[in-house]
Amino acid sequence: MTVVAIIRPDSINVALLVHVFGAMVLVGGLVTAATASLVGWRDQGVTLQRFSYKTLLFVALPGWIVMRGGAQWVFSKEHLGDLPSDPTWIGIGLGTSDAGGILLLIALVVGAFGLRRARNGGSTVLLKAGGVIATVLVAVYVIAVWAMGAKPS
């Protein structure tokens, strides 16, 4: 059995670095937001819930934008659109990034309403819902990281 090593051209390195950097920032922001939300779940104050929301807004969202832009850059530089069909790992990556982006936006909208309610002395349920969505997103992106690393056919 012969093993053939495929070496990536150097021209892709910057695009791949941008993609991986964005993914690391995104997952780091999601883990931080999910952890803060879960730790502050029973807290009567909203400090950790507010921190969770702001982490989603100022860390995870920009990370998603950089990750998705880098992914599209790599996709075009490697001419993966010219393939007759997308490999499974590309389908998983595109699916999780697009669905994750929508869930992230939902978490931000729900969290914004929750933050406004909490400032007025209302319920923190919507802020907690944003934290739950962040926790789900962590699981979604663990699957994406597996797909990008394992490259299932």
Question: For position 85, what pLDDT does the model report?
Answer: 81
- pLDDT higher than threshold 90 for residue 27: yes
Asked, for residue 130, whether it belongs to a domain, the answer is: yes
Interval 66-109: pLDDT, tens: 999 999 998 888 887 777 887 888 888 889 999 999 999 999 99
Interval 39-77: pLDDT, tens: 988 877 788 989 999 999 999 999 999 999 999 998 888
The stretches of 56-87 forming alpha helices (DSSP H) are 61-77
Q: Which domain holds residue 86?
A: 10-150
Asked, for residue 2, whether it belongs to a domain, the answer is: no
Handedness of CA 60, 66, 69, 73 (dihedral sign): negative
Domain count, the chain: 1
Asked, for residue 4, whether it belongs to a domain, the answer is: no
CA distance 137 to 100: 6
Mean pLDDT of all residues belonging to the chain: 88
Could you tell me where the beta strands, DSSP code E, fall in 38-141? none
Asked, for residue 39, whether it belongs to a domain, the answer is: yes
DSSP conformational letter for 125:
H
> Per-residue pLDDT averaged across 114-129, rounded?
86
CA distance 31 to 34: 5
CA distance 47 to 96: 30
What is the band of 6 on the pLDDT scale with cuts at 50, 70, 90? Answer: low
